Amino acid sequence: MRTARCFGARTATATTGTARARAEGGGVEQRPDGFRVVLALEEAKQPPRVALELVYHNGRGGPTWSAQVMARQAEPMHADQHAPHNAMTDAGEIARFHDRCSDLMRELLDELARTPDHPRTFPEIEDAIGWPRRRIASVLGGVWRVRQTEFGGRRPYRFLSDRRSRSGRWEMWMDDAQARAVRLAAV
């Protein structure tokens, strides 16, 4: 069976047997007796949580429409994080980063490790450390070259962008495994 899915009206994914193809355009499947439209009710960059299937059928009794809500996908914690592929997961790499960074960056890492899996805005983190405003931006800018040259751009913390966070501001946190690696490196 051939299906078409439209995510945010930007991308369509078609599946026929085991072959998969992506194409720009609408999520409409032509059928001999009508057509089928599948729309994901989310923004294009997010995995769909709810999908709506609309089917137009032109049968003997005349044209008909049917609609059904398709299966909801489970949402992992912080699924909307910014550039998740840049987050470090290897404890050895995190320990090496901890050793190579500045004292201020280590202080920031220690604070993030104190409350794993809890995204916080930069001002909240700065208040917890006792830093003036905008210090985190300066520290992250200072470690940028080390991240790029020695770690391929990876980092031992995670971000939520201002568009994805509840606060409407950039938020930062460590997952439990990252926090554990930082605590071990600090000993």
**pTM for this one?**
0.59
Q: How far apart are CA 76 and CA 87, in angstroms?
A: 16
Exposed/middle/buried for 60, CB within 10 Å: 0-12, 13-18, 19+? exposed
Helix axes 91-100, 135-151, angle to 10 degrees: 120
Give the residue with greater pLDDT, 185 vs 52.
Answer: 185
Q: How far apart are CA 36 and CA 30, in angstroms?
A: 7
Give the residue with greater pLDDT, 61 vs 87.
Answer: 87
Number of alpha carbons in the 13 Å side-chain half-sphere of residue 31: 16
Tell me the pLDDT tens digit for each residue of 104-116: 999 999 999 999 9
Domain boundaries, given as residue ranges, for the chain: 3-69, 84-186
To the nearest 10°, report the CA torsion of 73, 74, 76, 79. 30
